[in-house]
Amino acid sequence: MRSLPMLDLHVEYAYMKPDIDAAIQRCLAHQKWILGPEVGELESKLVEYLGVQHAVGTSSGTEALVLSLRALSIKMKGQDYFDKADEIITTPFTFTATGDAILRSGATPVFVDVDPKTYNIDVSRIRSYLKENSSKAVGIIPVHLYGQSCNMDDILEIAREYNLFVVEDAAQAFGGMWKGKKLGSIGTLGAFSFFPSKNLGGFGDAGMVSTDDSEVASIVRMLLKHGGKDKYNVDYIGYNARMDTLQAAVIGAKFRFIDEFNARRRQVAELYTEGLKDFKGIKLLEILAAAYHVYNQYPIGVIEGGRDELQKYLKSKGVSSMVYYPFPLHRMKVFESGRSKAYKELLHAEQAAQSVLNLPIGPLQTRENTDYVIEAIKGYFN
Ligand SMILES: Cc1ncc(COP(=O)(O)O)c(C=O)c1O
């Protein structure tokens, strides 16, 4: 029987081995482990690739979000943390880190429901929340879930109208675009993750902040090095959240392949879509015409026959699958007890959490394996 992982990192490494090995060897030769030359080199590559003024390497995508918000608080309010009364609007259907970063910045997350067609934040809900509560909101964090862009035209329009910052959570969307513009370069800031399973993944944790705002970029740089320009005389409550040299080397080596790999992910996704589109019992997500989707994940909504049963069946056929995410954020203890707000019912997020199943996808996944997954799903429903 076949054994199909969600993503085969062994195959990817074999494909890029000479580049990655050479990059690691270079680090072994220079021994500059903290903020070695690879970090700055990767930042320069991303400045050019994303079309932004600044890219700052961080220790993870989570820290990229936290540092972004903290830097905005310092710039906007002149204080280390937001006040609890400051609200940041985001989706409840995301990885914990998105909402957690808001709590860690001192602000209150406000969860508004998702659009059931894309599982991304429902922009009309943001608008109606702001109509009722505009004075408290300071910003929005749209999450480009699974690699598909949110509707950035609408989000920017609302942000302008209400004078809000926009931090794009582009953790799952490296190389994705909205109307030809790279995600992470559209809002006030972008936050990326290079977690190993991301489209551009390291051999451990790493992340990146992107922005055109020089002041914010320089505050982020201070915060990730304990909070000061001078490590031994600091201004702000800081972190040790630098990007690791070795990660920068690996990510820098893999960077050459990112456009090719994203195109390949899109081909795998097309096969899934073609194979599953007319299938009763399964809902496929809608792809916005203006979005260049980079498919960090390929989700299906299991609307008949039981999601967990399908997952078990696939497992019996050697096919891995994952539920991203089983709990919407507003259902988690950490966001309870007055720490966050939910705007009206979050029914679509609840439904998504109950029905979504993510199928194996990777740039080097063979057509044979993708067909095998499709046939296994069909087998279950037949
Ligand atoms: C949407 C989203 N936001 C934030 C993060 C946090 O990134 P990291 O795991 O690099 O801290 C992730 C990734 O895990 C993510 O998927």
| pLDDT score, position 61 | 98
User: Using one digit for the tens of pLDDT, what is the confidence trace for 101-152?
Assistant: 999 999 999 999 999 999 999 999 999 999 998 779 999 999 999 999 999 9
User: Using one digit for the tens of pLDDT, what is the confidence trace for 233-272?
Assistant: 999 999 999 999 999 999 999 999 999 999 999 999 999 9
pLDDT band at 100 (very low <50, low <70, confident <90, very high): very high
Which two three-digit tokens encode residue 258? 């990112």
pLDDT band at 177 (very low <50, low <70, confident <90, very high): very high
90 neighbors 221 (Cβ within 8 angstroms): no
pLDDT at 86 over 90: yes
Radius of gyration of the chain (CA): 21
| Pocket probe mutation, ligand 1, options 62, 148, 189, max atoms within 8 Å of Cβ | 62
Write out the E strands in 200-333.
207-211, 282-284, 291-292, 298-302
User: Using one digit for the tens of pLDDT, what is the confidence trace for 183-221?
Assistant: 999 999 999 999 999 999 999 999 999 999 999 999 999
What average pLDDT does range 312-325 have in this prediction? Answer: 98
How confident is the prediction for the chain on average, in pLDDT? 97
Tokens 């490296």: give the residue: 174
pTM of the model: 0.98
CB neighbour class for 347 (10 Å; exposed up to 12, middle 13-18, buried from 19)? exposed
How far is the centre of ligand 1, averaged over its atoms, from the C-alpha of 29 (Å)? 31
Query: Is the beta carbon of 183 within 6 A of some atom in ligand 1?
Result: no
Nearest ligand 1 atom, CA 143: 1
CA dihedral sign, ordered 296, 298, 299, 305: negative
How far is the centre of ligand 1, averaged over its atoms, from the C-alpha of 97 (Å)? 6
Task: Return the CATH number of the domain spanning residue range 9-255.
Answer: 3.40.640.10
50 neighbors 190 (Cβ within 8 angstroms): yes
How many Cβ atoms from other residues are within 10 Å of residue 259's Cβ? 12
Class of domain 258-381: alpha beta
The reply to whether 258-381 shares the fold of 9-255 is no
d(CA 309, CA 332): 24
| pLDDT score, position 279 | 85
d(CA 87, CA 109): 6
Torsion of CA 59, 63, 67, 73, to 10 degrees: -170
Interior angle at CA 180, CA 173 and CA 270, nearest 5: 60
Going by alpha carbons, the residue nearest to atom 8 of ligand 1 is 61
How far is the centre of ligand 1, averaged over its atoms, from the C-alpha of 21 (Å)? 26
What average pLDDT does range 306-325 have in this prediction? Answer: 97
User: Using one digit for the tens of pLDDT, what is the confidence trace for 150-176?
Assistant: 999 999 999 999 999 999 999 999 999
How far is the centre of ligand 1, averaged over its atoms, from the C-alpha of 50 (Å)? 19
| pLDDT score, position 280 | 86
d(CA 258, CA 50): 13
Break the chain into its structural domains and give their ranges: 9-255, 258-381
User: Using one digit for the tens of pLDDT, what is the confidence trace for 13-40?
Assistant: 999 999 999 999 999 999 999 999 999 9
User: Using one digit for the tens of pLDDT, what is the confidence trace for 324-353?
Assistant: 999 999 999 999 979 999 999 999 999 999
d(CA 172, CA 197): 9
| Pocket probe mutation, ligand 1, options 168, 195, 251, max atoms within 8 Å of Cβ | 195
d(CA 273, CA 93): 22
| pLDDT score, position 133 | 84
pLDDT at 45 over 90: yes
